[in-house]
Amino acid sequence: MDLACILQLAVGVLIAAGGLLLCLSGVDGKSHPLLRWALIGLVCWGAWFAALPAMAGVHDSASAIALAALVAFVLLRYRSELVAIFDGAWWWPPNNEHAPFDVNLPARRKPLPWWKKLNPWWALFGNDDDGYWGDDPWRQGRPKTFWLAVQWWLRNPAHNFTWYVIGFADRHRLVTGLWVPRIHKPGGGFLWCYTRIYLAGRWRLFLPFVSYLSQHCRFYLGWRTGGAFGIKLNLSIKGRPEWVWR
């Protein structure tokens, strides 16, 4: 038996052993039936791959042996990750504890007429939720002056435009993703989700959202779970004041 046959025999044994370990640790009664058959096929292929040089004294091509060696490496090196995938932690309904899930969110208010959304003054300078002077906690008893309205607009520019023109806060929404309806991932890191709405009752529209949270950065971009489109970037550098772009 030459070196290539010995190598193929060893690789086949490793594939069969790796597939058997996945069968024992990554499959249970709640796993998908197709997964079970796929792993059984993997074990059988590894056994056949090892038996060929042992029984017939011949070996496959160098490329086939190299590909099989790569499969064996992945099975043994990333077994725990494969167990999580094969167990259905991200895709199989009985086990998908960490899979993206859907959340139905009601409309913020009654649907606004389309002709109102075409009014540029209403869209760019109006605020149907908090008014021109902001909400009560923000005003803190200050008089309703023109300068206060300007300050409120600079803090929340184009509210109606982002919430009700390019946003869909006045519509029922189905939000899909991890940790929804949160804006940021608990503990920090990236969060993604998307909002699904129907236009004219028949066409589906998918609106993406991504955010990132760390000790020095707070960022989001896209359609938030509340239905509004938003962009926000807070950078905090140690020893310096926080810089905000919103």
CA distances from 84 to 20, 29, 62, 237 (A): 16, 15, 32, 37
The tens digit of pLDDT for each residue in 105-118 reads 899 888 899 899 99
The answer to whether 176 and 241 have CB atoms below 8 angstroms apart is no
Closest by CA to 52, choosing from 37, 41, 65, 39, is 65
pLDDT at residue 164 tops 50:
yes
pLDDT for res 245: 40
The answer to pTM > 0.75 is no
Strand 189-199 versus strand 229-235 pairing type = unpaired
Of the listed ranges 6-20, 77-91, 137-151, the least confidently predicted one is 77-91
pLDDT for res 36: 81
pLDDT at residue 243 tops 80:
no
Dihedral of the CA atoms 29, 34, 35, 39 (nearest 10)? 110
**Domains of the chain: which residue ranges?**
3-86, 103-245
The tens digit of pLDDT for each residue in 65-106 reads 999 999 999 988 888 778 777 666 655 566 666 666 788 889
pLDDT for res 241: 42
pLDDT for res 215: 87
Give the pLDDT mean for 220-238: 88
Dihedral of the CA atoms 132, 134, 135, 138 (nearest 10)? -160
Give the pLDDT mean for 179-201: 87
More confident call, 32 vs 96: 32
The tens digit of pLDDT for each residue in 36-57 reads 888 889 999 999 999 988 888 8
Residues of the chain with pLDDT > 70: what percent? 88
pLDDT at residue 240 tops 70:
no
User: What band does 242 get if pLDDT is binned at 50, 70 and 90?
Assistant: very low
Give the pLDDT mean for 230-246: 63
Question: What are 197's two structure tokens?
Answer: 């709405």
